[in-house]
Homo-oligomer: A and B are copies of this chain.
Amino acid sequence: MKTNGKNKYLAFTGGVGGAKLCVGLSKILSAFEIAFVVNTGDDFTHLDFPICPDLDSLMYALSAENNEELGWGRKGETWNFLRSFAELGGENWFQLGDRDLAIHVMRKQLLREGLTLAEVTSELYQRFGISHAVLPMTNEQVSTKIQSQGELKSFQKYFVKEKCEPKIEKIVYHGSKHAKPVPAVLEKLRDPDLSGVVICPSNPFLSIDPILSLETIKSALLSLDVPVVAVSPIIYGSAVKGPTDKIMGELGFTQSALGVAEHYDNLITHFVLDNEDVNLCSEIEKLGLSVLVCNTLMKTLDDKTELADNVIKFIKNSFI
């Protein structure tokens, strides 16, 4: 294949859903070739532990330490701390596993030693044997908040406690106006060797938009002259995981891959659509996007690697 010789990629991702594609990308691209930028809008402090759900989901996925039975959390998890804590009347709405807890305690210790979140993340990923660079979007606090019935709720309250039931009126990325991105994110976006950016099939509103709410990331993305590819998290009108479709309806978007394409429209150049949604292809192309139709449902490691391969080829082909 003829390419422009550039060979670096950047992927934007949220939690478990996006992490599947990241695993595929990590299998076909070296640590030199791809880095990951992760949403921290869901991060919060719980029982005085700094919890970073998306950073941890990706860490577990990339190190094959993810819990496949549960679909979230850490492999071989036990819950003896939480059970004992609940017996004492402690809060147990947020599932803190015994093995998962080790990460939060270590993160806290490293943060207290004065490391930034990016440095802590790098330390933890290295200790998990992961060589790919994974960057939190910011070292500062940006908190996704959900407005529902006039009340502004924390993301975790909405997502875990209320199981995404309240109707969303608006989503706010609190703190994003003044928060600076992790410097390496901008460096990688401005790297002349950057071949393209992949927006993983994560929830656009809860996982990707918090990253894009950092103005310098958004403007760096807008000024790129390389492909920016979004992979739809919606297949045949439904989210593979989580409340994306429901939220799209509530916020007035078309509840389909087309709605996702419309949402990202001015930021992306390429769009990847599932075979099931082939009928949406021409409408999405009318938005001015190049469209790839393939399997996007990632059940096995082969599915992940194959989709990653298709996405990267899609980018490379655009330079032919």
Contact = CB atoms under 8 A, between A and B. Distances in A.
Main secondary structure on chain A at its contact with chain B?
A: helix
A10 to B, nearest CB: 27
Nearest to A78: B80
A80 B103 contact: no
Contacts of A87: 102, 127
A81 B102 CA distance: 5
Nearest to A96: B105
Contact of A90 (B47, B80, B82, B102): B102
Contacts of A90: 102, 105-106, 109
B78 A103 contact: no
Place the interface of chain A in its size category: 20 to 34
B48 A112 contact: yes
Contact of A98 (B88, B98, B124): B98
B84 A124 contact: no
A90 B104 CA distance: 12
Contacts of A78: 78, 80, 98
Contacts of A89: 106, 127
A31 B82 CA distance: 30
A91 to B, nearest CB: 9
Contacts of A84: 98-99, 101-103
A111 to B, nearest CB: 10
A263 interface: no
Contact of A85 (B80, B106, B112): B106
Interface of A: 47-48, 78, 80-85, 87-90, 98-99, 101-103, 105-106, 108-109, 112, 124, 127
9 contacts: A47-B109, A48-B48, A81-B81, A81-B99, A83-B99, A84-B102, A85-B106, A88-B102, A89-B127
